[in-house]
Amino acid sequence: MSVRKSFDHRLNDWLDEGPQVAPHDLLHAVLEELPSHRQERHWLFGGRWRIPMLTFARLGVAAIAVAVVAVAFIATRPAPSVGTGPTATPASSSVFTSKLYAYSISVPPGWTATGAGTRWSGIGSPTVQDITVDLIDSPDAVHGAAVLVFAAPTSKSLAAYVAAGIATNYVVHRQDGCPEQPESVESVTVGGEPAKFVSWNCGVLINVAFTVHAGQGYWFVFRDYGVHAATDPVDKGTFTAMRASVRFK
């Protein structure tokens, strides 16, 4: 068995057991693959999980990291104009189709969807303020639920991609109260692809469905400011229905 296969096998075993404390060499290997800017304060580049932001007030800053750190550009989503910029899906529409990330998803009644203005680089863990996310807002997204979706090319297996996502979430959001390990990991599907459903209590509910499709690693994030736990039956029902509706293009 190759080193790569052995590593993926151990990651699968760890995820299937329900992560409590990852073997140190696995976390070390995952963290070594993260960008060198992983220690930066994320609130400088797009906000925290726990800070409510109105959709129309998604602010951003332009920042250039030093040396070999990738450029991070967070811009305010422009107001819709004819032929340019992201546009919101009306509440009466039942399906949102992403122009950048090649999928469609059902939008619950009363929710609105705004497409990303530019592609995610694959670095870090974007939040509602970032122009790189497709944002699906509930009627009371400020105090309630929202769904974020973003994707980037990856050569990782699903197990390695999920482990990297768990490590990234901790590094980027630990100052928000996110623990090193999630409360639970479940095997699910998204758009017919194998996926992992990961639940955190980061002071607010954060659920992420990770999947890999056609060389693209996807994060489907469900965030609820009104729930201070890792799981909630109403949120899980809503998110399950939305995930079941996903179709990759």
Whether domain 3-248 has CATH 3.40.50.300: no
pLDDT of residue 46: 35
pLDDT in tens, 98-150: 999 999 999 999 999 999 999 999 998 998 889 999 999 999 878 889 999 99
pLDDT beyond 90 at 65: no
User: 36 with 44: CB under 8 angstroms?
Assistant: no
- pTM listed for this prediction: 0.72
pLDDT of residue 118: 97
pLDDT of residue 231: 96
Helix/strand/coil (H/E/C) assignment for every residue in the chain: CCHHHHHHHHHHHHHHHCCCCCCHHHHHHHHHHCCCCCCCCHHHHCCCCCCCCCHHHCCCCEEECCCCCCEEECCCCCCCECCECCCEECCCCCEEECCCCCEEEECCCCCEEECCCCCCCCCCCCCCCCCCCEEEECCCCCCCEEEEEEEEECCCCHHHHHHHHHHHHHHHHHHHCCCCCCCEEEEEEECCEEEEEEEEECCCEEEEEEEEECCEEEEEEEEECCCCCCCCHHHHHHHHHHHHCCEEC
pLDDT of residue 22: 52
Mean pLDDT confidence for 42-55: 39
Assign 19 a pLDDT band (cuts: 50, 70, 90). low
Task: Check residues 66 and 104 and name the one with the higher pLDDT.
Answer: 104
The domain segmentation of the chain, as residue ranges, is 3-248
Task: Check residues 237 and 47 and name the one with the higher pLDDT.
Answer: 237
pLDDT in tens, 197-228: 999 999 999 999 999 999 999 999 999 999 99
pLDDT of residue 92: 43
- When mean pLDDT is compared over 20-29, 90-99, 123-132, the highest value belongs to 123-132
